[in-house]
Structure 1
Amino acid sequence: MAPEGLDRRLAALRPERAAVLEGAAALLQRRLPGAAGAEARRFLDLWAAGVPDEDLAARSPEDVAGAALSLLDHGRSRPPGQASVRVLNPRPEVEGWRSAHSIAEIVNDDMPFLVDSALAALAIVGRAVHLVVHPIVPVRRDAAGRLVAFGEAAGPDAPRESMMQIEFAQGADSAELAQVAAALKRAMADVRAAVADWPAMRERLAEAIAALEGGGEEARIAREFLAWLADDNFVLLGYRRFRPTEAGIAAEQEHSLGLLRDASIPVFDVLREPGNLPPAVRAWAAEPTLLTVAKANMRATVHRPQHCDAIVVKRRDAAGRVIGADLFLGLFAANAYNRNPRSIPYLREKVAAVLAEAGVDPNTHDGRRLSNILETYPRDELFQAGVDELLATARGVLALQERQRVALFLRRDRFERFVSAIVYVPRDVMDTRLRTRIGGAIAEAFAGRLSTAYIQIGDSPLARIHYIVATTPGAVPAVDLRGLERALAEIARSFRERLAEALIAEKGEAGALAVLGRWGDAFPAGYADRRTAREAVADIALAEA
């Protein structure tokens, strides 16, 4: 018999779901008689509440009962203040149930970012996720962390715990499962560190805002930007304070918060030896510019598996000399990427400065197009690039409206950590293979590694691809940009374009157009990978002979 309350819910469910849960409840009753069975069936109710009907219907009652009991058993003991993580391949002869996938079980105090951080950890180690079961359970434990009661039995004021069970692409052996477990443990520890120090990081941000009062126009822009960050537009993950030294800079580690309590995390690779900075970094550290927005080398283990954003606010004395800096590590919230940049402090001033430098009336056709280019520009680039760099690129993109072609716009990181490349190609030739080939060509040219690529395909005849290529500081080769652009244009040429060129060389323009009309789209996709356009001309001649 199902526990009280479950019967009423089963009646409203699809028959397949109800049948599986009834069967699972009956199995638990037979396997665990008495109070233990009743407890297991109550947990089954919690476990199943968020599982979609189709996922439940695809499982046998034995495996549903086994999965729920496995998570309950894992949650019976947890060290206070820590996440309990277990990763396994269930075996019927040992665990009493089976799964086509590996299982991760995570029991933790309930807090923000747990699910997305666990999924991010699995993505980083290359594991596809098939199902997430995540009941939030009121729990009462003794001082040693042993489970005393859960659910309604724990009482109305019981703290809530997150109990996750994640099915992911199966690991072949214990070493692979250990790698997954280590990634999940690190992610859960990082979530705890960031959430625990969040109030203190908010205080440091408020102090930085207050310190900018009465400091002129530059300070006003920085102050308004930091206030915008504080208004739920930035997920704070870490804080570190720096001071200048004769040899470079030094971290005041006693003030570090969140993920940056770990002194081994440099944020930027060029800061691994802060007492021996490269000349470019030393020059930047001494510059009086108040605000810097940059990408960290490290990927976030909390919330989203993306490179962290770093906000650096310098402190200056009355003479304008740099006397220190505050670094806030985190991730911009999603609306920072979706909102019009004119509504975001710091960006709105950049956009206005670019339009002013361009010397165009914003109410003219070109002015409106230039504004649209900036408003839809890759947001990370808008944060990081200078006004002169943005103006040069925006003018180049504006020119593409008149003469559509393959175009390359490049920005080198000041510290030679990466190259940002924005490439425009005709939309009708854009595909995964072309994206990969262009990215590979850029990475090879800069002796780097393709880190990521973002694609934008809209109503424009041109598609935009934004590549980030990681490079080695001090070992970035000089590159002929126009030569590289010509090479990318050649890569992007369609087989039809190559065939037209070969036919014109063979038959003249008039004769070529007639043949191209008959044969331009006749060749299968694989042909172009194996044959040249000249060979195609010869094959056409044979076919028409």
Structure 2
Amino acid sequence: MPTPIRETELRSERVDQVVALLRAKVGAEQVETLDAFARKYFGQVDPEDLEEREVPDLYGAMLSHWNFARRREPGKLRVRAFNPTVAEHGWQSTHTIIEIVNDDMPFLVDTVTMEVNRHGLTLHLIIHPVLAVKRAKDGTLAGIAEGSDAAALRESFIHVEVDRVPEPARLEALVADISRVLGDVRQAVEDWPSIRGRVLTIVEGISKQPPPSIPAAELDEG
């Protein structure tokens, strides 16, 4: 097993190969932005997972996700599932690919994993960078922001590889169900501050005027 330092070196070597291909293919006006994106995108991926995939396919997956993220309305989830082929997409995979772009929030990966499992699919890879991005007012992706940029948006980019799903109807159902459960996550996260506030108000009210059935000693323990 490689040491952590060696893992970092192996990852960097593979990502450098992806970036070299990127620089050979992408126009000068985008190359620096996509270079930064690629390094963040693959920055936490296990080197073995990178080695198992061809450089053109890693490049294709990264660019596909970037292009999918180029337009996103504020507060709106984007999710799709597809089977990439060289003829149609310029890259390929033996797996079905799920791409997600969303505001960063807790429980996203766990929720997607559970929904994939509920569909009876094996999960083969998750790539999940959380990026600070800049967007125009219409939601157009303008670039990668510096961490200190107060105007930056924190977004989760989630790339998931699962067992290949050839049937379009099953792909549509998978997308619909992932969209539904991630919508539930958003609602729970957004509702939590108000729920917590109501609970604290109730607790405070009980402390000030406890029902006769609650001994004072139990309130002190709480």
> Do 2:130 and 2:155's aligned partners in 1 also have CA atoms closer than 8 Å?
yes
Q: Which residue of 2 aligns with 1:163?
A: 157
> Do 2:33 and 2:143's aligned partners in 1 also have CA atoms closer than 8 Å?
no
CA distance in structure 2 between the partners assigned to 1:57 and 1:120 by the alignment: 27
Deviation at 1:155, TM superposition (A): 5.8
Alignment of 1:71-470 (within 5 A): 71-152=65-146, 156-157=149-150, 158-212=152-206, 213-218=209-214
Deviation at 1:85, TM superposition (A): 0.8
CA distance in structure 1 between the partners assigned to 2:117 and 2:198 by the alignment: 32
Closer, same or farther in 2 for the Cα pair 1:124/1:29, shift >3 Å?
A: same
Structure 1 stretches of 4+ moved >4 Å? 9-12, 217-225
Alignment of 1:515-530 (within 5 A): none
Question: AA paired with 1:22?
Answer: D
Deviation at 1:94, TM superposition (A): 1.3
Residues 70-116 of structure 1 deviation map (CA, whole Å, 9 limit, x = unaligned) = 11111111111111111111111111111121111111111111111
Closer, same or farther in 2 for the Cα pair 1:215/1:107, shift >3 Å?
A: same
> Do 1:83 and 1:185's aligned partners in 2 also have CA atoms closer than 8 Å?
yes
Closer, same or farther in 2 for the Cα pair 1:155/1:73, shift >3 Å?
A: farther
Residues 13-33 of structure 1 deviation map (CA, whole Å, 9 limit, x = unaligned) = 12xx44432322122112213
Q: Which residue of 1 aligns with 2:35?
A: 41
Higher helix share: 2
3-state SS of 1:13 partner: helix
Of 9, 17, 30, the match for 1:23: 17
CA distance in structure 1 between the partners assigned to 2:114 and 2:190 by the alignment: 20
Closer, same or farther in 2 for the Cα pair 1:175/1:65, shift >3 Å?
A: same
CA distance in structure 2 between the partners assigned to 1:165 and 1:185 by the alignment: 15
CA distance in structure 2 between the partners assigned to 1:125 and 1:11 by the alignment: 33
CA distance in structure 2 between the partners assigned to 1:22 and 1:203 by the alignment: 49
Question: AA paired with 1:156?
Answer: D
Give the paired residue count.
Answer: 215
**TM-score, length-scaled by structure 2:** 0.87
> Do 1:209 and 1:223's aligned partners in 2 also have CA atoms closer than 8 Å?
no
CA distance in structure 2 between the partners assigned to 1:91 and 1:172 by the alignment: 12
Closer, same or farther in 2 for the Cα pair 1:125/1:218, shift >3 Å?
A: farther
> Do 2:130 and 2:157's aligned partners in 1 also have CA atoms closer than 8 Å?
yes
**TM-score, length-scaled by structure 1:** 0.37
Deviation at 1:165, TM superposition (A): 0.7
Deviation at 1:224, TM superposition (A): 8.4
CA distance in structure 2 between the partners assigned to 1:10 and 1:156 by the alignment: 32
Of 62, 73, 76, the match for 1:68: 62
Closer, same or farther in 2 for the Cα pair 1:222/1:102, shift >3 Å?
A: farther
Deviation at 1:39, TM superposition (A): 2.2
> Do 2:111 and 2:182's aligned partners in 1 also have CA atoms closer than 8 Å?
yes
Question: AA paired with 1:190?
Answer: D
3-state SS of 2:75 partner: coil
CA distance in structure 1 between the partners assigned to 2:55 and 2:33 by the alignment: 17
CA distance in structure 2 between the partners assigned to 1:186 and 1:217 by the alignment: 43
Deviation at 1:211, TM superposition (A): 4.3
Residues 400-455 of structure 1 deviation map (CA, whole Å, 9 limit, x = unaligned) = xxxxxxxxxxxxxxxxxxxxxxxxxxxxxxxxxxxxxxxxxxxxxxxxxxxxxxxx
CA distance in structure 2 between the partners assigned to 1:122 and 1:215 by the alignment: 47
Alignment of 1:487-498 (within 5 A): none
Identity %, equivalent residues: 32
Deviation at 1:220, TM superposition (A): 6.7
Deviation at 1:223, TM superposition (A): 6.7
Deviation at 1:207, TM superposition (A): 3.0
Residues 329-359 of structure 1 deviation map (CA, whole Å, 9 limit, x = unaligned) = xxxxxxxxxxxxxxxxxxxxxxxxxxxxxxx
Residues 180-220 of structure 1 deviation map (CA, whole Å, 9 limit, x = unaligned) = 10111112211111111111101221233234342134577
5+ residue gaps in structure 2? Answer: none
Closer, same or farther in 2 for the Cα pair 1:166/1:223, shift >3 Å?
A: farther
CA distance in structure 2 between the partners assigned to 1:131 and 1:11 by the alignment: 17
Deviation at 1:44, TM superposition (A): 0.9
3-state SS of 1:138 partner: strand
Question: AA paired with 2:40?
Answer: L
